[in-house]
């Protein structure tokens, strides 16, 4: 019996896939199809896959051409599979010509002609062509603009509030209402105090919104925006990119599944340096304070892990005027746990995250908010585990792909629940509007 093997993602199975499977099958008597796992695809940079692995496997099954389906999970697995299953022929599309010659040491390698004029990428971009506008200052938008260009199905229409900036390439800058009229959705990373009005305006006109946190100063306002989004069937999603990195998400799942026992403490630190002279003229230079730059990021894991039901909290801040803090420390006391954030702008510290539990702790080295790596550490060092998940760029891509998916599915596949959004807004309200803050 002649065994043939072929591999692919097979996202939204189309005629090109069918043709290759038929041709591969015709080369022998038994066809094994390797379908890539979601993890493997994201590691090799294919992050815009629309269907889950299960759906893609179902698609291949339905063709009736595969005698056996295996999941491709790691680099080098093709050699393992060929040896394990006693494969005679490895077949793949001609777009890979030359790339798999190294397998000829183990079996015959055949490149089959690729079907012209059709691809998953083409179907994806026909299906969900999203016109996206970017709102905020150029110095914050250029990174997301650069990462967005490589995403199929997203077109950046222009910016508002950014002015002209070389880094934004050739993007047109519009007035706010002009831009809203031109787009299906907006990404907002404007000054904290402007966000509420901007989001409300966009949602009321049926536009989807991806916004940095906090979206509002105040729980009531955040709640109101979520209600408007629901009523108008719009997606309103948190734009903290950390939340969408694979490593961070896995970390949350592990912690929640009891890997380090009961959680007693969560500590996060986020700081960045700016020359004090610049900070003093911050209004002119539009530099964000510690709270505006880092507060929401530092708070997010605390509320995600311990919930929002703390008994009380304390805030200590070093401010240079009423509005601008250069350093803030907050403590949250829960019934069975505590949490601390330390944030700085013009003050530097080790930007790590530590989550302590009854069986062990999670350590995420600086800068934890760009997590691609973390460790689970135990009393017995030999049991320590290390986890690494590649993070491409700064992670905006993952956030945008999730946003696109949420719009297509009509619901947020949210890692940051509404209670977390509201609590973050509430802490900002407390920070800016209550007298309950100690100053140093």
For binding to ligand C2G (CB under 6 A), which residues are involved?
A: 7-11, 16-17, 20, 36, 72, 92-93, 95, 114-115, 118-120
Least distance from ligand C2G to the Cβ atom of residue 300, Å: 34
In 9-118, beta strands by DSSP E: 30-36, 68-72, 89-93, 108-112
- What's the first-to-final CA gap in the chain, in angstroms? 79
Least distance from ligand C2G to the Cβ atom of residue 70, Å: 11
DSSP string, 395-413: SHHHHHHHHHHHHHHTS--
Nearer to ligand C2G by C-beta: 119 or 289?
119
In the sheet that 3-8 helps form, which strands lie side by side, from edge to edge?
Answer: 68-72, 30-36, 3-8, 89-93, 108-112
* Contacts (Cβ under 8 Å, ≥6 apart) of 128: 153, 404, 407, 408
Nearer to ligand C2G by C-beta: 118 or 226?
118
Cβ neighbourhood burial of 169 (10 Å; 0-12, 13-18, 19+): exposed
* Contacts (Cβ under 8 Å, ≥6 apart) of 56: 9, 10, 11, 13, 35, 36, 49
Nearer to ligand C2G by C-beta: 114 or 318?
114
Nearer to ligand C2G by C-beta: 12 or 180?
12
Least distance from ligand C2G to the Cβ atom of residue 37, Å: 10
Least distance from ligand C2G to the Cβ atom of residue 39, Å: 13
Nearer to ligand C2G by C-beta: 100 or 432?
100
Q: Among all residues, whose Cβ is closest to ligand C2G? A: 93
Least distance from ligand C2G to the Cβ atom of residue 46, Å: 6
Least distance from ligand C2G to the Cβ atom of residue 28, Å: 16
> Residue 433 corresponds to which tokens in the numbers above?
């509007």
Nearer to ligand C2G by C-beta: 30 or 100?
100
Q: How far apart are CA 350 and CA 177, in angstroms?
A: 42
The three-state secondary structure class of 320 is: coil
Residue 191 Ramachandran class (φ > 0 left, ψ -120 to 50 alpha, else beta): beta
Least distance from ligand C2G to the Cβ atom of residue 418, Å: 36
Nearer to ligand C2G by C-beta: 119 or 297?
119
Q: How far apart are CA 155 and CA 399, in angstroms?
A: 15
Least distance from ligand C2G to the Cβ atom of residue 15, Å: 8
Least distance from ligand C2G to the Cβ atom of residue 23, Å: 8
Pairs from 70-76 (Cβ < 8 Å, separation ≥ 24)? 70/32, 70/33, 70/34, 70/35, 71/34, 71/35, 71/36, 71/37, 72/7, 72/34, 72/35, 72/36, 72/37, 72/40, 73/37, 73/39, 73/40, 74/40, 75/43
Nearer to ligand C2G by C-beta: 11 or 189?
11
Nearer to ligand C2G by C-beta: 9 or 328?
9
């Amino acid at each position: 019996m002649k065994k043939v093997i072929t591999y692919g993602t097979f996202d939204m199975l189309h005629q090109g896939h069918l043709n290759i499977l038929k041709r591969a099958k015709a080369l022998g008597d038994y066809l094994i199809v390797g379908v890539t796992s979601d993890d493997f695809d994201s590691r090799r940079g294919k992050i815009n896959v629309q269907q889950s692995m299960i759906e893609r496997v179902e698609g291949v099954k339905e063709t009736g051409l595969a005698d056996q389906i295996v999941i491709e999970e790691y680099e080098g697995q093709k050699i393992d599979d060929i040896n394990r299953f006693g494969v005679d022929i490895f077949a793949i599309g001609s777009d890979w010509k030359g790339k798999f010659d190294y397998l000829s040491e183990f079996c015959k390698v055949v490149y089959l002609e690729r079907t012209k004029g059709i691809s998953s990428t083409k179907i994806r971009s026909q299906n969900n062509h999203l016109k996206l506008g970017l709102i905020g200052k150029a110095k914050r938008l250029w990174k997301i603009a650069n990462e967005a260009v490589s995403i199929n199905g997203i077109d950046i229409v222009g910016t508002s509030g950014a002015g002209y900036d070389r880094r934004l390439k050739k993007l047109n800058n519009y007035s706010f209402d002009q831009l809203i009229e031109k787009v299906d959705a907006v990404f907002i990373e404007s000054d904290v105090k402007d966000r509420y009005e901007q989001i409300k305006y966009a949602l009321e006109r049926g536009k989807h919104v991806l916004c940095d946190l906090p979206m509002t100063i105040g729980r009531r306002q955040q709640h109101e925006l979520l209600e408007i989004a629901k009523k108008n069937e719009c997606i309103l999603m948190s734009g903290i990119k950390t939340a969408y990195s694979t490593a961070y998400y896995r970390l949350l799942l592990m912690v929640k599944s009891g890997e380090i026992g009961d959680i007693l403490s969560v500590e996060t630190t986020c700081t960045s340096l700016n020359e004090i002279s610049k900070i003093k003229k911050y209004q002119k230079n539009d530099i964000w304070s510690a709270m505006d730059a880092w507060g929401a990021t530092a708070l997010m894991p605390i509320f995600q892990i311990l919930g929002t039901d703390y008994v009380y909290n304390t805030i200590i801040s070093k401010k240079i005027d009423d509005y601008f803090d250069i350093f803030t420390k907050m403590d949250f006391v829960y019934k069975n746990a505590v949490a601390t954030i330390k944030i700085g702008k013009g003050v530097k510290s080790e930007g790590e995250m530590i989550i302590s539990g009854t069986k062990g702790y999670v350590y995420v080295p600086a800068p934890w908010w760009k997590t691609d790596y973390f460790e689970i550490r135990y009393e017995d060092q030999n049991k320590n585990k290390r986890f690494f998940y590649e993070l491409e760029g700064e992670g905006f891509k993952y956030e945008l792909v999730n946003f696109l998916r949420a719009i297509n599915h009509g619901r947020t596949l949210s890692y940051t629940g509404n209670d977390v959004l509201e609590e973050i807004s509430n802490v900002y309200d407390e920070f800016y509007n209550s007298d309950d803050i100690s100053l140093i």
